[in-house]
Every structure is written in C-alpha cells, then in structure tokens.
Amino acid sequence: MKKIASKKTAIVIGAGIVGLATTRALAIRGYKVSVFERNEQAVGASIRNFGMVWPIGQPAGPLYDRAMLSRSIWKEICAEARIWHDEVGSLHLAYEQDELQAITEYVETNNQYRDCALLSPKQTLQKSPAANPAGLKGALWSSDEVIVESRVAVGRIAAYLDEKYDVEFHWNTAISAIDHPKVTSGTHSWEADEIFVCSGADFETLYPELFSSLAITKCKLQMMRLVAQPDDWRIGPALCGGLSLIHYPGFQSAASLPALRKRYEEQYPDYLQWGIHVMVSQNGSGELTIGDSHEYGLVHDPFDREFVNNLITDYLHNFASFQDWKLMQSWHGIYPKMTNGQTELVLEATPGVTIINGLGGNGMTLSFGLCEEYIAGKW
C-alpha cells in the first residue's frame, strides 16, 4: 500500500472537468493531489461538448456569479497553459416578434447585472457574418461567453496541473473500491486524507445503493462538427436560435417566455420531445460544433438517431449561413443530471469521501466556480 507523502493529501477520482476543477482548488491550497482516471485520457462528457463557457445560461445571482468565477479561472489557466480560447461572446437571434419580445425583456431585467444589449439587425450582422439576414428582427448580445476546444483543453489542463502543482495522475487506473483513507484498483491501493469522487460512472459503480437512492438521472445529447471554414472565415460570437431561450434558466426572467414556449410546443413538438435547441460554436481551427439534443433516463440507446441530427441541422439553417456545411463528425455524450431542480450534487458518502457530481450540461461553465467555492468553504 502506498501512502501519498504530504502534510495534506487528497485523492480525486476522475480527470474530467469536475475532477480537474476539484484538483486545482485543492492544489492551490497546498494539498498534494493524486488523480485516478480509468482511461488513458478523459473521454467522457467533458470533451463531447461545444466548448462553451456560458454564463448567459445562468440566472442572475449565485449561479451567474459562480459562472463568472469559473470564467475568470478558465482565463487564468488558459493564459498560463497557453490553451486556445476565444472571448467571442454570444448572439441569440430573433426571427419572430415573440422571440424579440423575450430578449428585449431579458436585456431590460439583466443589463444592470451583466454586459448584454439588444441589437438591431444591422448591428447583429456586423457582429457575425454567419447570421442569416432573411427575416432577422434583432439579437441579444452578451460579451461574457468564452469558447475553448474542450477536446484539447481538458488534457492540457491536466498537464498544467501536473507541471505547476506536482499533481500526480494515474491514467488507465480504475478505482474499484473505497474504504477511507484507502482507494483500491486491482491489487494496488493508495491512501490520502481526503477522497473526492468526481466521475459519474465511478460514482454509480462505487456507491450503487446511494446512486439509486438519489434524484439523479443521465442525459444523452447528440452533436455534430462541420469542417473548417474556408479562407479562415470566422462566425464571430457563438450563435443560438430561439429554442435556446426556453432551454436555459437564465432566460426565465423574461415575462413573455411562457407564451413563447406555448408557440414552440405547437410549432416544434418534435424538437421539444427530443430536447433540441440549436447552437453553434467555432474552434481555433475554424471547425463548427453544432447541436444538440437531450434524452433523459438511466440507460440510453448506444446508437445515434439520424432524424435528431436532421432536425438540428434543419433548424440551424433558419438562423445561420456558413461557407461550408460539410459534416465531418457526429457523436453523443452522456452526463449525470439532477431531477429535483438542484444544480449539482455535493455530498459526503462516508466520512472523508465527498462526491461532486450532477452538474448536468453546465460542467464547462460551473465546475471551476463550484469546486473553488466548495473547497474554499472547507478550508
């Protein structure tokens, strides 16, 4: 058995974004941290997303503050580790009067708390050459949103934590049992003062009875990537259609939102059935990430649904005009999500063992802030 030698020690299970955020919060406070990841690199939901750090999706108050704290940590890490990131902001495009009304109300209730504005069609097209001008009535502009290439960034953050804080990563090491202060993988075991379980799959495997007793489910999302746009053509801000207005809780401050939702229920029943809202972001190579859908349940069909991808691209054509629409990849991701309205799950499974999980689709946006707040509160 190996005792991790340090005054304060911690083991983190999972090298996805929640595990890395927990590791950072511990490491900057002097902990000697060891991270255990079942694969040779993180390959789960943390790399299967838009790469959006998305404060606009969070309501004003503690969650928005947490998102902005995450944003500041992202910027600090990206600058130090030389990770590509783009502070492009976002545009929510309106093509119907009720969509324009909703974003107008949003700006009126939020512009004192965050940097957002209502843009005319002309101003919108100046922000993004990719916005479809046909029928455009205006857009909600927010400067807060940042894009990273999650497929690269997650691995680079691990390397950064290793180099700067001497974090020890154990790749291809699946933890099969926890008996504080010990964790076990096969015939090997390690000890630490505190243990943090930050992986949905490991949480369910390690504590099956606890998992089944909680208000938690899993969400499957389908996404696609289009080829790099020619001649270094950039879309500017991340773009969203009207369906995103009823997806994110940040827009619930708009008084007319229930009426907008009712219209969508009548016009787009298939979209709401499959939890589809449509967005696009662009990475540093010029490729476009588009999506997505949301299916909820504890077990999901491993095969993607072509008609769902078709619904996504059909709706995307309503508000986006690209130089090249050629599809290069499609995939799905699965992440844990709370069903009781809670935005995350942080609990002590046994003394010395903390589970951090259930951030839903907000892991890139909230993980750094959540883990910083939690670890700081323990300090």
Over residues 135-148, the pLDDT tens digits come to: 999 999 999 999 99
Asked if residue 23 and residue 11 are part of one domain, the reply reads yes
Asked if residue 322 and residue 225 are part of one domain, the reply reads yes
State both tokens at 293: 């859908």
Share of the chain above pLDDT 70, in %: 98
Over residues 286-305, the mean pLDDT reads 96
The answer to whether residue 88 is domain-embedded is: no
Local confidence band at 345 (pLDDT 50, 70, 90 cut-offs): very high
The answer to whether residue 72 is domain-embedded is: no
**Average pLDDT, rounded, for the chain:** 96
Number of C-alpha atoms within 13 angstroms, CB side, residue 310?
4
Amino acid 4: pLDDT: 45
Over residues 54-58, the mean pLDDT reads 97
Amino acid 200: pLDDT: 79
pLDDT digit string, tens, across residues 104-118? 999 999 999 999 999
CATH code (residue 297): 3.30.9.10
Residue range of the domain that includes 226: 126-135+216-338
Asked if residue 238 and residue 202 are part of one domain, the reply reads no
Asked if residue 183 and residue 42 are part of one domain, the reply reads yes
pLDDT digit string, tens, across residues 346-365? 999 999 999 999 999 999 99
Asked if residue 359 and residue 298 are part of one domain, the reply reads no
Q: For the whole prediction, is pTM greater than 0.85?
A: yes
Asked if residue 290 and residue 280 are part of one domain, the reply reads yes
pLDDT digit string, tens, across residues 78-88? 999 999 999 99
d(CA 325, CA 378): 49
Share of the chain above pLDDT 90, in %: 96
Asked if residue 157 and residue 39 are part of one domain, the reply reads yes
Amino acid 338: pLDDT: 95
Asked if residue 165 and residue 42 are part of one domain, the reply reads yes
- Nearest 10 degrees: Cα torsion 169, 170, 175, 181: -60
CATH code (residue 362): 3.50.50.60
Amino acid 378: pLDDT: 83
The answer to whether residue 109 is domain-embedded is: no
Over residues 176-180, the mean pLDDT reads 97
Q: Which residue has the tokens 């991701």?
A: 333
Local confidence band at 203 (pLDDT 50, 70, 90 cut-offs): confident
Q: Which residues of 181-202 are buried (b: 16+ CB within 10 A; e: fewer)?
A: bbbebeeeebbbbbbbbbbbbb
Are 130 and 321 spatial neighbours (Cβ–Cβ below 8 Å)?
A: yes
Asked if residue 304 and residue 175 are part of one domain, the reply reads no
Residue 379 has pLDDT above 80, yes or no: no
- The structural domain count of the chain equals 2
The answer to whether residue 179 is domain-embedded is: yes
Asked if residue 251 and residue 208 are part of one domain, the reply reads no
Asked if residue 370 and residue 272 are part of one domain, the reply reads no
SS3 label, residue 110: helix
